[in-house]
Chain A
Amino acid sequence: MGSKRQFRIWRGDETGGDLKDYTVEVNEGEVVLDIIHRLQATEAPDLACRWNCKAGKCGSCSMEINGKPRLGCMTRMSTFEESETVTVTPLRTFPVIRDLVTDVSFNYEKARETPAFAPPADVAPGDYRMQQVDVERSQEFRKCIECFLCQNVCHVIRDHEENKPAFSGPRFFIRAAELDMHPLDTRTDRKEYAQAEMGLGYCNITKCCTEVCPEHIKITDNGIIPMKERAVDRRYDPLVRLGSKIFRRGETPQNSVTSARAAGPATPSTSAGFHSHAGGSHDSRAEAQAQSGVNWHREVPHPTAPAVDERGKLPLTELTFDRAAAPSPFGDDVSFPLPPEHLNFAHPEQDKH
């Protein structure tokens, strides 16, 4: 049989809000998200909460439970005392939309800024071959479900909003690490990019990202610290730089990845050329080809505004809508295949076509 438990849930929106008290029934085996659903089904039908899989794999139900960033669906009620009041609040680092739902678009903007995978120019898609031992480190980071708990807990932006433009956050540091360690990625300047444009230097290794990761990714030890060490190789290690100068390993012309946004002393010199210290196995010609003609900061047009009615809302049914079916999730102004100028991706062999 269930028992009655005390909950305090933050209710409100961007104009303000406060913690509201609820007494809810809790049954054996339930998680916090179950309780949110019970509240929605009973006394708070207008309680807003984002969720999808209820299995810890979609990363939607990120919230703060008793002050700790957690997934609602992975926090068992049995971990609390029966007499304990459970406080549930939205993620603090991101703007609130309503109740427990926050606007996490900061993360999608940072995702767009992160340079994509750059495969070798002379290997066709489908012909990628790599050894398990080489790709293993990258695979750890592929476990990320993008719940953004690490982004939320990171004090660099949680406590200092002004750092948001300069700091991409732990989720994108492990993305950079994943690609830098990838055996088939040909970019050689991901370390410089992470330092100059992603704000790697802001991280002070306090490991909260690792503490909150529901996928138990060792974000700091396996992602951020190796990236810091790789940046040290390039920028602070005169022995390595001397070795590179003498042996001129993997020297390639540099493209515009660290472009206009990073003016100032932190920007790597574009004339110095960059070198591969990662096993010396790169084909410099392939790297140059892969990097040519890609502008990672290209402004992709925004989709048009939704077709709302006079009340500012989307039509609820086809009967009240002027089109034959539901609106396209990609925007009705988008046709397929997408026109090339709307893409932020350049095929390595684009010049041949």
Chain B
Amino acid sequence: MTSTATRPRGARARAAIAAKTLRTDRWWFAPLITVVGLTAWVAYATVRVYLHNWYWVEDFHYLTPFYSPCITDRCVEGAAHFGRILPDWWIIPEAAFTLPFLLLFRLTCYYYRKAYYRSFWLSPPACAVPDGHQTYSGETRFPLLGQNLHRYFFYAAVIISLINSWDAVLAFHSPKGFGFGLGNLILIGNVVMLWAYTISCHSCRHIIGGRLKHFSKHPLRYRAWTFVSWLNVRHMQLAWITLGTLALTDFYVMAVAADWIPDLRFIN
């Protein structure tokens, strides 16, 4: 009796290849640019949040997204759309209710996870390049098990996007009545991009229709899923674009509020 099947014969060894990686392309470039980009953005955002100044343009009702909704005692009268609830201790940001959730939404985002696991945590820095750590348990234990909470931060991000949209609408109503300037365009552009990023989230794609087994029984949800899937393919680009639009919007509002530049007005 015989068989041509190879029988298991105990553990063999892997090929003894001395080089840690044999990649010849610039595999280090993507993680490097990610570290530079994210570090620069976080540094800018931290400085801006703790400046506690130049966040509101009284003449045109521009409010920067980094200070929205403004809820500390420091907030100027016009900017505090939701009341002044928190004390004005310097360590409390003006947008103390929203910034932590926005941070957690991006921190647990499936794209950002890829970005920072590769670039900051080197796990792995690039494909077929060795992990920078001796042991690895992935997202099976605390604290990384918490990445599974992404969908809750998505729900929070939807509410925050609504607040940002409200800010952009209010900015059309300045003390002189209806007004429209370059600042409005920037605020609207930022909000549109924020919505695109938020809706393109993988959790949103799942909730909106991905969890269904039979698309044919839910035609509307299937159409919504198809649209979100189209956006979802661009999630990485939207993640970076929104970092850019957030910083640009904030910088523009700061520059106008500090009288460094005048706002370009089209109407009023």
Q: Does B215 contact A (CB under 8 A)?
A: yes
Asked if B128 and A68 make an inter-chain contact with CB atoms under 8 angstroms apart, the answer reads yes
Asked if A159 and B136 make an inter-chain contact with CB atoms under 8 angstroms apart, the answer reads yes
Contact of A105 among B4, B8, B25 (CB under 8 A): B8
0/1 per residue, A8-34, Cβ < 8 Å to B? 001010111111000000000000000
Question: Given known contacts A134-B214, A232-B148, is B3 in contact with A87 (CB within 8 Å)?
Answer: no
By DSSP majority rule, is chain B's interface helix, strand, loop, or mixed?
loop
Asked if A153 and B138 make an inter-chain contact with CB atoms under 8 angstroms apart, the answer reads no
Chain A residues near B7 (CB-CB < 8 A): 302-303, 305-306
Cα distance A233–B213 in the bound complex, in angstroms: 14
Q: Does A211 contact B (CB under 8 A)?
A: yes
Cα distance A334–B4 in the bound complex, in angstroms: 12
Closest chain B residue to A87 by CB distance? Answer: B22
Contact of A332 among B3, B21, B139, B149 (CB under 8 A): B3
Chain A residues near B210 (CB-CB < 8 A): 226, 229
Closest chain A residue to B232 by CB distance? Answer: A221
Asked if B202 and A232 make an inter-chain contact with CB atoms under 8 angstroms apart, the answer reads no
0/1 per residue, A298-319, Cβ < 8 Å to B? 0000111111000000100000
Q: How many residues of B contact A (CB 8 A)?
A: 60
Taking the closest CB of chain A, its distance from the CB of B4, in whole angstroms, is 5
Cα distance A314–B19 in the bound complex, in angstroms: 37
Q: Does A57 contact B (CB under 8 A)?
A: no
Question: Given known contacts A92-B14, A327-B3, A331-B5, is B24 in contact with A204 (CB within 8 Å)?
Answer: no
Residues of A participating in the B interface, judged by any CB pair closer than 8 Å: 10, 12, 14-19, 64, 66-69, 84, 87, 89-90, 92-97, 102-103, 105, 131, 133-134, 136, 153, 155-156, 158-160, 162-163, 181, 183, 199, 201-208, 211-212, 220-221, 225-226, 228-233, 235-237, 266, 276-279, 281-282, 302-307, 314, 323, 327-334
Q: A155-B123, A220-B110, A229-B206 are in contact. List 14 more A-B contacts (CB 8 A).
A: A10-B17, A12-B15, A18-B18, A68-B127, A153-B127, A155-B124, A183-B214, A208-B127, A226-B206, A266-B140, A277-B211, A279-B212, A279-B218, A332-B3
Q: 30 A-B contacts, Cβ less than 8 Å apart?
A: A14-B12, A15-B13, A68-B23, A68-B128, A69-B127, A87-B22, A92-B17, A93-B14, A95-B13, A131-B216, A155-B124, A160-B135, A181-B213, A183-B214, A199-B138, A201-B138, A201-B145, A202-B137, A205-B117, A225-B110, A231-B148, A232-B151, A236-B148, A282-B213, A302-B7, A306-B5, A314-B4, A328-B3, A328-B4, A334-B3
